């Protein structure tokens, strides 16, 4: 029989274990919030010039839809919405999805955290 002292030890152990878990969860949540905050914001009214100045890697997407190499050097100041109407049959959502796929930061997850191992493992 542990008595009151044993019950107190169990309660303290639970409290410390919960505290450590909460700290770990808060650390991971802050990392997620930071990565969401760092996500680029590209939308229909972003100009092609703003897009290519900030994310030159997006040129490949625009080139696949008919943008010439000259426009890479001097991107037009038209909104992406206009580019989609002229070059993508008006499929703005599809164009934005392609652009976001190219400009999103790569997953930096490792197996060390034990939460989200890279695919194929």
The per-residue DSSP string of 69-101 comes to HHHHHS---SBHHHHHHHHSTT-HHHHHHHHHH
- List, in sequence order, every residue forming a beta bridge with 61; answer none if it has no partner: none
Say if residues 80 and 54 touch (Cβ distance below 8 Å): no
Instruction: Tell me the pLDDT tens digit for each residue of 75-102.
Output: 999 999 999 999 999 999 999 999 999 9
Q: Which residue has the tokens 């100045």?
A: 53
Give me the pLDDT at residue 59, please: 95
The domain limits of the chain are 3-38, 48-103
Long-range contacts (CB closer than 8 Å, 24 or more residues apart) made by 114-120: 115/28
Instruction: Tell me the pLDDT tens digit for each residue of 24-71.
Output: 666 666 555 555 455 568 999 999 999 999 999 999 999 999 998 888
Distances in Å between the Cα of 46 and the Cα atoms of 11, 16, 43, 65, 80 are 56, 49, 5, 17, 6
Distance of alpha carbon 118 from alpha carbon 30, whole angstroms: 21
């Amino acid at each position: 029989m542990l008595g009151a002292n044993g019950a107190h030890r169990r309660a303290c152990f639970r409290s410390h274990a919960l505290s450590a878990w909460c700290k770990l969860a808060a650390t991971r949540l802050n990392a997620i919030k930071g990565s969401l905050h760092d996500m680029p914001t590209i939308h229909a009214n972003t100009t092609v010039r703003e897009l290519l100045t900030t994310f030159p890697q997006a040129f490949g997407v625009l080139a696949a839809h008919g943008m010439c190499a000259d426009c890479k050097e001097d991107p037009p100041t038209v909104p992406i919405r206009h580019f989609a109407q002229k070059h993508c049959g008006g499929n703005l959502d599809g164009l934005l999805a392609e652009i976001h796929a190219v400009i999103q930061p790569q997953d930096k997850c490792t197996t060390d955290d034990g939460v989200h191992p890279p695919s194929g493992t």
